[in-house]
Amino acid sequence: MAWASFAKLNAASSQWIGQQSFTQRTGSSSSTRFATRRVSVPIRAGAYTEELVKTAKTIASPGRGILAIDESNATCGKRLASIGLDNTETNRQAYRQLLLTTPGLGDYISGAILFEETLYQSTTDGKKFVDCLREEKIVPGIKVDKGLVPLPGSNNESWCQGLDGLASRSTEYYKQGARFAKWRTVVSIPCGPSALAVKEAAWGLARYAAISQDNGLVPIVEPEILLDGDHPIERTLEVAEKVWSEVFFYLAENNVVLEGILLKPSMVTPGAEHKEKASPETIAKYTLTMLKRRVPPAVPGIMV
């Protein structure tokens, strides 16, 4: 839903609420004098808002999902090595062409997350990969984070780097045809998680989301709760609820349009080393409980 840029106050005030502030009066019944204070009321209405909402709804269309082929060149090389091929750009191009030109792919896939190299590549006969996707009504996406690094001051936890230069990179990705973005950060339960790590994950996701939207890209918001640990499923639920509440708090602080984002939550499961395994029905129950408690209804799609 696009929001209006301005809302008019009553006639006595004759001011406008926008990226401005308005006067609020305070006082008591025993005095006719009023003190005034300035209250800022930011209103979000970006240049890409309508397009973002449309893109998010397209990707979240029923019966289709997202294809993630955003492997780094090193990871792609491991796949090629398994079939006896060298890790060259030509071979990576052929591998991705095999995927992206599959007949009828658009019947099942609504969006494809690409690695930066792939976004700029073409088929062997010169057709851009992004054009191959568009013909199948698949939205091209792009991985924008720069990977996990140690978080100083934490309990051996990580944070996701990549905000530096993200605006300029996103502008170029949009020009090349990308219309949504992926940013992955993680939270470790065995490491605490510390309040610092949770805040860093939430704030980083919110800044990435705001920058992406300002440049026309629908952000996939993905705080991944790692499976490591021997904790029960109840502990995972507790941590997931805390993380997602922080994420949406900072999304609001950064004026992110919730109708123009997509979510990729982790399933709520016991730790991988926990002695009791949960049934699929139990995992579904706990995951839905978390989502119902934390996700605002404005969000158009949850991709799991």
For 217, the domain range is: 48-294
For 134-192, write each residue's pLDDT tens digit: 999 999 999 999 999 999 999 999 999 999 999 999 999 999 999 999 999 999 999 98
Spell 231-265 as b/e; 16+ CB within 10 A means b. Answer: bebebbbebbbbbbebbbebbeebbbbbbbbbbbb
Q: Which are the catalytic amino acids? A: 222, 264
For 33-92, write each residue's pLDDT tens digit: 555 566 555 545 578 999 999 999 999 999 999 999 998 899 999 999 999 999 999 999
Q: What is the DSSP letter of 258?
A: G
Q: Rounded mean pLDDT of 247-271?
A: 96
The CA-atom distances, in angstroms, between 285 and each of 37, 232, 234, 267, 279 are 48, 14, 12, 10, 10
In this structure, is residue 300 part of a structural domain?
no
**Domains: count for the chain:** 1
The mean predicted confidence, pLDDT, of the chain is: 87
Asked whether the beta carbons of 238 and 187 are under 8 A apart, the reply is: no
Domain containing residue 149: CATH number: 3.20.20.70
In this structure, is residue 129 part of a structural domain?
yes
Please give the pLDDT value at position 14: 33
Which DSSP string do the residues of 26-95 spell out, in sequence order? Answer: E--TT-S--EEEEEE------TTHHHHHHHHHHHT-TT-EEEEE---HHHHHHHHHTTT----HHHHHHH
In this structure, is residue 103 part of a structural domain?
yes
* Cβ contacts of 102 within 8 Å, gap of 6 or more: none
In this structure, is residue 106 part of a structural domain?
yes
* Cβ contacts of 195 within 8 Å, gap of 6 or more: none
Which residue is it, tokens 């982790």?
266
Please give the pLDDT value at position 265: 92
Whole-number Å distance between alpha carbons of 81 and 77: 6
Is residue 17 pLDDT above 90, yes or no?
Answer: no
Please give the pLDDT value at position 46: 76
Please give the pLDDT value at position 53: 96
Is residue 26 pLDDT above 90, yes or no?
Answer: no
In this structure, is residue 24 part of a structural domain?
no
In this structure, is residue 27 part of a structural domain?
no
Whole-number Å distance between alpha carbons of 302 and 179: 17
Asked whether the beta carbons of 63 and 229 are under 8 A apart, the reply is: no
Rg (CA), the chain: 23
Estimate to the nearest angstrom the gap between the alpha carbon of 168 and the chain centroid.
18
Spell 206-230 as b/e; 16+ CB within 10 A means b. Answer: bbbbbbbbbbbbbbbbbbebbbebe
pTM, entire model:
0.83
